[in-house]
Amino acid sequence: MQPIDVLKRTIGVNFSEEGTVTVKVWSPQAETVQLEVKVKDQVETISLTKERYGYWSATSNKITNGSRYKIKIDDKQSFPDPASLSQPNGVHGDSEAINLAAFQWRETAWNNIPLEDYIIYELHTGTFTPEGTFAAIENRLDYLKELGITAVELMPVAQFPGNRNWGYDGVFPFAVQNSYGGAKDLQRLVDACHQKGLAVVLDVVYNHLGPEGNYLGEFGSYFTSKYNTPWGNAVNFDDAWCDGVRHYFIENALMWLRDFRIDALRLDAVHAIKDFSPVHILKEIKLHVDELMRVTARKHYLIVELDLNDTKFIQPVNQCGYGMNAQWIDEFHHALRVTTGNEKTGYYSDFSGIEHLAKAYKDAYVYDGQWSPHRHKFFGVKADEAEGKQFIVFSQNHDQVGNRMLGERTSELVSFEMQKAMAAAVVLSPYIPLLFMGEEWREPHPFQYFISHTDEALCAAVRKGRKEEFAAFHLEGEAPDPVAVETFDNSKLQWHLIEEDKHKQMLSYYKMLLSLRKSHPVLKNLNRKNLSVNPLVESNALILLRWQESHYVLCLMNFSNEERQIKLMKASEWNIALDSASRQWGGSGESTIEENSVVLRPESTLILTNK
């Protein structure tokens, strides 16, 4: 492995404590590399000196905080810096030199919370508030705290083209989106979260870059044709000249954790990362993050989106794993969706409903070695040794909502009562729960796919691709135009709804549910072993029993649209902790508890405790 200083960023333009500015660019096949910096309306050229392994460097006093610059390769066209920290005029404009170390942190004692205490709230900066900025999120932190959230997850903020994008089309991994407020405002937001006792998770994308403004290939072999991916050539993690690319992304992960004090990174779709190196790039990132934690005494987590059902990603490094702390498991979501009436099409065709939901509670992976009809192969491995805190579950997220043709949220797909039952199914699991912004008040606005590329040909290609993707759904209408401002505006949350009727009741229900999760000794302990689950297939109901020492929690879930009688010896001796059918939460009336049975209301969840 190439040595990396975990305590400071070494690539790009950086300010030292001594007041000097260093420049380091990776361009292994270049003959000359020059930095063109604008000084008082004039462009001054700084020639870089070639070093080992394809790097070029210089030290200069011509660069100050706020200087605009570009990099010229072989006396040809000039491009923005691949390691730029700021793109104030977008992806095609000049890079801006900024000093991340100049930020004055107010919360200096913060040191993350235990992973098992994470209750995650995923949000998109541009649509979470009317303003669509980091500063505007700050104004909502008290709301999130009162809701019961402990960790705020930001969808990707790396610079993307235009002002409207999910963030997965980012092309400057080190630069914070200018329209959101840039690097300083992100640091301010993280600082504010820590002052409120909230952890911050940042979504990062290491499996591809977007198409517009992607100039990395002009500098070196950042991509390889060795592998095909849904986005074209793969990021080069194991082909010729891969060391500079690996260094680039390791430095990126360290920057977010060290300079922005992000608590956890969520690495997008790591199954799409192609790497057959002796040390996988994820493992190498983990080793450097471990070293960062050792020298700073700050705790950080690495969370992956993964659909391989392969425990080597979350196994410790000393057990030949990659050492990721946790992973998203879509299979819990899929089983829950089918249980609640979702059509069994596409990847949902692999799921039986209530039986597979029960298996997800018990085994985490639904497919852990058996035949997958949708994939036409045996799929997955057992996850028996993994802890509950290593899995993140949800009833909706940006993908599961936004990748629908019309971007409908759960609020538009299931009844009021069923959404409460789905929320309980997630929160009562022995895993880390994740909420998607607005679900807690039953936001009716969709979350649709939107872009604002400046390349008209690219916009046309994206429109065409979306139409072709959903051609089979033409009877449901046309896919929204991803380029239209209206598509973006229609995806924004409507905050005024939290004071209105059913929305207010749903919000109160979520608060109570999360409060119970955080306070009860059984529910806040993510012990997968102390659990039994019984699916009642004919009734489309489920009995989940969890315990911790002498404390027991019995969760009775009815996903059918009819009342269900559940036999339960000495039922009357249990205490009701929460009944989703209660009129307090907008339901039709409480469940009935008899001496040896319980009658559950349709589409409801009853939580009972022994103490």
Return the active site residues: 268, 305
The tokens for 346 are 């596409």
Task: Tell me which residue has tokens 């549910």.
Answer: 513
453 labelled ligand-binding = no
Q: Is 60 exposed, middle or buried (0-12, 13-18, 19+ CB in 10 A)?
A: middle
280 labelled ligand-binding = no
398 labelled ligand-binding = yes
Phi, psi of 427 (to 5 degrees): -70, -30
Integer CA distances (angstroms), 62 to 51, 314, 407, in order = 21, 46, 49
The tokens for 491 are 């995806």
The tokens for 575 are 């205490």
| Coil vs helix vs strand at 352 | coil
| Cα–Cα distance, 259 to 389 (Å, whole number) | 26
Q: Assess contact for 543 and 554: CB atoms under 8 A.
A: yes
| Cα–Cα distance, 358 to 425 (Å, whole number) | 10
503 labelled ligand-binding = no
Integer CA distances (angstroms), 575 to 427, 547, 608, in order = 19, 15, 5
Integer CA distances (angstroms), 451 to 207, 598, 600, in order = 19, 50, 45
403 labelled ligand-binding = yes
Spell out a b/e string for 218-230, using b for 16 or more CB atoms within 10 Å of the CB, else e. Answer: bbbbbbbeebeee
Q: Is 557 exposed, middle or buried (0-12, 13-18, 19+ CB in 10 A)?
A: buried
Spell out a b/e string for 344-372, using b for 16 or more CB atoms within 10 Å of the CB, else e. Answer: eeeebebbbbbbbbbbbbebbbbbbeeeb
541 labelled ligand-binding = no
247 labelled ligand-binding = no
333 labelled ligand-binding = yes
What are the residues facing 239 on neighbouring strands?
none
| Cα–Cα distance, 53 to 494 (Å, whole number) | 52
Beta-carbon contacts of residue 53 (< 8 Å; ≥ 6 apart): 2, 28, 243, 244
271 labelled ligand-binding = yes
Q: Assess contact for 100 and 183: CB atoms under 8 A.
A: yes
402 labelled ligand-binding = yes
164 labelled ligand-binding = no
Q: Assess contact for 329 and 360: CB atoms under 8 A.
A: yes
Instruction: Tally Cβ neighbours within 10 Å of residue 109.
Output: 5
Side chain identity at 175, as an amino acid letter? A
334 labelled ligand-binding = yes
The tokens for 540 are 């489309």
Beta-carbon contacts of residue 521 (< 8 Å; ≥ 6 apart): 548, 549, 551
554 labelled ligand-binding = no
526 labelled ligand-binding = no
499 labelled ligand-binding = no
| Cα–Cα distance, 428 to 426 (Å, whole number) | 6
Q: Where are the beta strands (DSSP E) in 358-467?
A: 371-372, 377-378, 391-393, 432-436
* Binding residue numbers: 266-271, 330-334, 398-403
* Binding residue numbers for substrate: 266-271, 330-334, 398-403
